[in-house]
Structure 1
Amino acid sequence: MDRLAGLRKGPKQGINGEAGAVVQAKKIALYVIVVFVLYTIITSPARAADLVQVGFEGVSSAAQGVGDFMSELVK
């Protein structure tokens, strides 16, 4: 009967609560990343702007490559 009670808790908790712990760990990791990004922006805004620019250039380059690939497929 106890096993059925554990199954009724739902998909996020499971029998031993492992899935709930994973969700909690993901939340903590997200908070740590957000705090790190804010700290980086506050302490070195010029470096943070450079990193964002490099990121956008990378995305733009990747999009250009995909566009070139699709153009060659059509030919």
Structure 2
Amino acid sequence: MVQTKKVALWALAVFVAYTVIHSPARAAELVQIGFQGISDAATSIGEFMTQLIK
């Protein structure tokens, strides 16, 4: 089980490195989209909590 996790982690790391090296602009765009999604989710949770207090 532990060996499987190590192999999966290494495969993910190799994939990320390949993506960044092969297409850095696309990789940056994907990271930006991910952070935008996290930001939108945090904003929505904040609005939800504000509405609960009112």
Question: What is the RMSD of the two structures over their aligned residues, measured on CA atoms?
Answer: 0.4
TM-score, normalization by structure 2? 0.97
| More helix, by proportion | 2
The answer to whether residue 16 in structure 2 is matched with residue 54 in structure 1 is: no
Matches within 5 A, 1:12-31: 22-31=1-10
1:63, CA displacement in angstroms?
0.3
Q: How many residues align?
A: 54
Matches within 5 A, 1:1-75: 22-75=1-54
TM-score, normalization by structure 1? 0.71
Higher relative contact order at CA 8 Å, sep ≥6: structure 1 or structure 2?
Answer: 2
Identity of paired residues, percent?
Answer: 59
Kindly report structure 1 stretches of 4+ aligned residues shifted beyond 6 Å.
Answer: none
Which of the two has higher C-alpha Rg?
1
Letter in 1 for 2:47: D
Segments of 5+ residues of structure 2 without an aligned counterpart are none
Segments of 5+ residues of structure 1 without an aligned counterpart are 1-21
